[in-house]
Amino acid sequence: MKLTFCAMKLTFHAIRRISPPARARFLALFMSVAPMAHAAPLTLNEALRLAATHSPAIAAAGAQERGAQSALDSALAYPNPEVELASGVSRPRQIGGTSGRNELLGLSQPLELPSLREARRQGAEAGIVAGAAALGDAQLKQHSAVKQAFYDVLRRQEEARLAEENHALLLLIRNRVKIKVEVGESPRYELVKSEAEALAAQSAARSGELRVTQARDRLRALIGAPLAQSFEVASEPPLAADLPELDELRRDLLTRQPQLKGAEAETRRAQARLEQERAARLPQPTLKLSAERDPEMNQWRLGVVLPLPLWNRRAGPIGEAVAGVHRAEADSRQVHLGLLAELDQAYGRYQIARSQVQTFESGLIKEAESALKVAEAAYRFGERGILDYLDAQRVLRTTRADFLNARYELQAALIEIERLRATPLTEGKP
């Protein structure tokens, strides 16, 4: 239901003359429809901005980065001293001894070796790099996913438009055939065939509308911001289809990709943990200072407590740290190989889709349109039957659908390469 222009121009006094139940229904309808009537179509930049603001994945990665910053503060902190206070009563065991109170004040300060603190600091700094890389990777993935979903909505809308145009055309053909059958110029099987084609086109049009709704729902879920139930997306120019050579794309990936930086940082953090465990194998001294007073004398003590690594030489933690280094190095190699493989696959899809788009644009669609015109003229003059006309129309419909799929497959490959390359692509005509 839509508000008419006259209804929207009702004055306040006119509204007051309406009965309270009708007034309430009118105001509810106005509040629900008026914002939608003035809502502008969602642009790609606005969708990316909303996703960057409301995305839970980016928020989680940002919290991880802030936690890594706090971990550095923990790594640089010195161990706290310990204070010991004691008081009691002294009773002599021999006759003539002095009785009274005794008191003890002690201070202990653990001392860390420089090698242990340095290894812990390096591990925390590597964690900061890993956190920043995780945030960058989350932003890239979110950016790519929103772009893919946005262009998928445009694709489904275009498919729905083509399906609706095809349905309207087949209805027109069905009506023409019906008239010819009624006047006896065409056999009845042509009407049956045309009605079957019209029903199939109607089903395809409804399926296209459903796919548009599903694509909008996916985009809304990725953005994470409240949007209207049937929001519109603005048309966007296609991404530039001219890419550098594959070797240059690989160099960009190896230089800029956050996943690689994160994997390298995790390897450095694992190595720092190994150095930390090895440094912890050395005894860490504790400096002690105490003052004791009893009824007969005052005592001052200064000493060092040094643990003896006799039973536990930290073989287990060191072995775990060594295994962690090997695992981190293997994960880094796996990320390296996996990203290069993804880039090769995306580049292959890009080349195939670009070749298909160029084939369609070079004249394939025009040829299908010309064939349809010839078949339509032949059908009108009685030289061809309805089956030939419908076949030509089906060929044109299939060609347009294939061209649409090739265009958006090209866009999808470009967006994937943009994510892997970690460099935004410019917009332009492919």
11 exposure class (CB count in 10 Å sphere: 0-12, 13-18, 19+): exposed
Q: Give residue 82's pLDDT band: very low, low, confident or very high (50, 70, 90).
A: very high
CATH number of 39-88+101-421: 1.20.1600.10
Whether the per-residue pLDDT at 210 is higher than 50: the answer is: yes
Domain boundaries, the chain: 39-88+101-421
For residue 288, give the 3-state DSSP assignment.
strand
Cα–Cα distance, 223 to 206 (Å, whole number): 26
pLDDT for res 37 = 38
- DSSP element (H, E) containing 263: helix 258-280
85 pLDDT band, cuts 50/70/90, is: very high
Euclidean distance between CA atoms 63 and 46, whole angstroms: 24
Res 28: pLDDT: 45
239 vs 408: which has the higher pLDDT:
408
User: 105 has which bridge partners?
Assistant: 85, 291
C-alpha to C-alpha distances, 177 to 173, 194, 198, 390, nearest whole angstrom: 6, 7, 12, 12
CA distances for 143 relative to 45, 251, 262, 416, 419, angstroms: 10, 21, 18, 10, 8
Tokens 């090769």 locate to 344
| Predicted pLDDT at 26 | 44
Strands across the sheet with 82-90, in order?
82-90, 100-110, 286-293, 298-305
Alpha-carbon distance of 157 to 42, in angstroms, equals 14
Helices (H) and strands (E) in the chain, counts: 12, 4
Judge whether residue 230 has pLDDT over 60.
Answer: yes
CA distance 265 to 134: 11
- As a residue count, the chain comes to 430
| Confidence at residue 124, expressed as pLDDT on a 0 to 100 scale | 93
- Grade residue 303 by pLDDT with cuts at 50, 70 and 90: very high
The answer to whether the CB of 236 falls within 8 A of the CB of 427 is yes
pLDDT above 90 coverage of the chain, percent: 41
- E strand spans, 131-249: none
pTM value?
0.75
Whether the predicted pLDDT of 12 surpasses 70? no
* Angle between helix 114-182 and helix 56-76 axes, rounded to 10 deg: 180
pLDDT band at 345 (very low <50, low <70, confident <90, very high): very high
Position 272 scores a pLDDT of 94
For residue 419, name the pLDDT band (cuts at 50, 70, 90).
very high
Q: What is the pLDDT of residue 96?
A: 67
Residue 22 reports pLDDT greater than 70? no
As a whole number of angstroms, the distance between CA 27 and CA 16 comes to: 11
* Residues paired with 108 in a beta bridge: 82, 288
Mean pLDDT, the chain, rounded, equals: 83
Q: What is the pLDDT of residues 86-111, one digit of tens each?
A: 988 877 777 766 777 888 899 999 99
Q: Stretch 31-42: mean pLDDT, rounded?
A: 53
pLDDT at 318: 92
C-beta atoms surrounding 63 within 10 Å: 12
pLDDT score at 184: 78
Mean pLDDT, rounded, for 352-376: 85
> Residue 7: its pLDDT value, please?
39
Residue pLDDT, tens place only, 41-51: 888 889 889 98
Tell me what pLDDT residue 21 has: 47
pLDDT in tens, 161-172: 988 988 888 888
At residue 281, the 3 state secondary structure works out as coil
**Among 16-30, 121-135, 243-257, 329-343, whose mean pLDDT is lowest?**
16-30
In this prediction, residue 262 carries a pLDDT of 94
Lowest mean pLDDT among 93-102, 277-286, 325-334, 364-373: 93-102
pLDDT given at position 122: 93
Cβ count near 1 (within 10 Å): 5
- Tell me the mean pLDDT in the region 153-158: 91
pLDDT score of 196 more than 50:
yes
Average pLDDT value for residue range 217-223: 89
Q: Where is pLDDT greater, at 393 or 96?
A: 393
